[in-house]
Amino acid sequence: MSASVPSMDLPSCELHRLEDIVDLVSSVARSRVDKQNLALALKNEGFIPKLLQLFQVRENLKDTESLHFLFDIVRRILYLDEDVLFEVMFSDEYILDVAGCLEYDPSLA
């Protein structure tokens, strides 16, 4: 079955690609199939742990601009509403960093 799922190219999980990641996660909002494909790609490539590791580094550096991008990415990933991602994001290992990302809502600054 997974052979029939088209692969989705993810930007590398790096500081200079945060805007590209926001754009990608935003672009699938209207298509259920695209949401599912993105969710599978994020899980299969271990993207969320990489994203949360980047969050830890940027938070330690107090890089507000990057933290605002990370907030937007994490929020939009949650809006994908995919169980396969919730399993990772709400795991004991990652839930505190997910919550940490959500503290950087630019509208609350």
pLDDT tens readout for residues 39-68? 999 999 999 999 999 999 999 999 999 999
* pLDDT exceeds 90 at position 108: no
Of residues 5 and 85, the one with the higher pLDDT is 85
pLDDT at 4 over 60: no
3-state DSSP: the chain helix, strand, coil percent, rounded to 5? 70, 0, 30
| Burial letters 42-51, b for 16+ CB under 10 A, else e | beeeebbeeb
Give me 59's structure tokens.
Answer: 């938070």
Q: Which two tokens stand for residue 105?
A: 């809502």
Query: pLDDT-based confidence at 8, cuts 50/70/90?
Result: confident
What is the share, in percent, of the chain residues with pLDDT greater than 90? 88
